[in-house]
């Protein structure tokens, strides 16, 4: 078994794990002022509680990604590739028909990808035509994995690739047509460890940030498995607090696309809000 499946198995077998992020990296083609981003992330990040488990610490994930890079370098001597792993599902004939139905490629949408790491699904998504991607990961080594996985030609076409915190995003209001979350919201909730009040707080912060950076009429597409109820509850609580905003268009129940793809072929729950 390779490194990333082992990590995935560990995450799914314990009750405390997480997703914490820190500073920013110079973007590839960013419209965001790097200096002000760094200041804001450092200021707000210092006020965030630390998780009580290793899965919520950047150092743990940095080391995991670093080992993946080292293993690959030792295997074939390449510095331009990395071991990949698709969280929950792949793109072609799995996630693609469901995402494309609510975020049509023909509209050339701007899409935010939280927690990209070395998820090959996102590379395949890019290759299918979704080029206007902005992606981030809390772990610098996760961003390095993404850079190697995409390669220089794809990176030149992406909007940006950052180290960032999902609870304090360095993007302007109403920046994106859509968000594709694959397990990152799960990990944010689990970063609270045994403290479920803290877990709900972290997740609520992330959902609030998504509401801020997604355009009116935009979509949040969440692929979730470990924390389906918590993710659903967080969006419901946001609506109760604000008295508006998120309209749910996919609730995780069995769904069939117009082309005949059934949602039970994806080994996770798909929740979608507009």
Q: Would you list the DSSP string of 18-82?
A: ----------SS--S-HHHHHHHHHHHHTTSPPPSSGGG-HHHHHHHHHHHHHHHHHHH--SS--
What is the pLDDT at residue 244?
Answer: 83
Q: What pLDDT score was predicted for residue 194? A: 84
**Per-residue pLDDT tens for 207-258?**
999 999 999 999 999 999 999 999 999 999 999 999 888 999 999 999 999 9
- Quick: pLDDT tens for 174-200: 999 999 999 999 988 988 778 899 989
pLDDT (0 to 100) of residue 62:
65
Task: Give the C-alpha separation, 64 to 8, whole Å.
Answer: 11
Exposed, middle or buried, 17 (CB in 10 Å: 0-12/13-18/19+)? buried
The structure tokens 């965001």 sit at 32
Instruction: Report the alpha-carbon distance of residue 74 to residue 274 in Å, rounded.
Output: 45
Residue 178's SS3 state is strand
Using one digit for the tens of pLDDT, what is the confidence trace for 106-132?
Answer: 999 999 999 998 899 999 999 999 999
């Amino acid at each position: 078994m390779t490194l990333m499946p082992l990590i995935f198995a560990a995450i799914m077998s314990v009750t405390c794990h997480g997703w914490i992020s820190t500073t920013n990296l110079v973007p590839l083609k960013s419209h965001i002022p790097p200096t002000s981003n760094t200041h804001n992330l450092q200021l707000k990040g210092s006020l965030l509680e630390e998780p009580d488990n290793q899965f919520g610490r950047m150092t743990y994930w940095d080391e995991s990604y670093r080992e993946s890079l080292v293993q690959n370098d030792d295997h074939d001597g390449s510095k331009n590739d990395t071991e990949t792993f698709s969280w929950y599902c792949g793109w072609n004939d799995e996630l693609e028909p469901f995402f494309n139905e609510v975020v049509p490629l023909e509209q050339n949408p701007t899409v935010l990808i939280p927690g990209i790491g070395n998820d090959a699904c996102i590379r395949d998504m890019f290759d299918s035509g979704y080029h206007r991607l902005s992606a981030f990961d809390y772990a610098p080594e996760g961003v390095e994995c993404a850079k190697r996985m995409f390669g220089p030609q794809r990176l030149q076409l992406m909007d940006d690739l950052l180290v960032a915190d999902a609870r304090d995003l360095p993007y302007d209001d109403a920046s994106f047509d859509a968000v594709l979350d694959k397990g990152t919201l799960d990990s944010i909730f689990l970063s609270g460890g045994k403290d479920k009040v803290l877990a709900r707080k972290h997740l609520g912060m992330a959902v609030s940030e998504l509401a801020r950076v997604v355009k009116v009429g935009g979509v949040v597409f969440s692929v979730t498995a470990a924390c389906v109820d918590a993710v659903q509850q967080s969006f419901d609580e946001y609506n109760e607090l604000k008295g508006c905003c998120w309209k749910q268009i996919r609730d995780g129940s069995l769904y069939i696309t117009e082309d005949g793809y059934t949602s039970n072929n994806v080994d996770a729950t798909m929740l979608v809000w507009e």
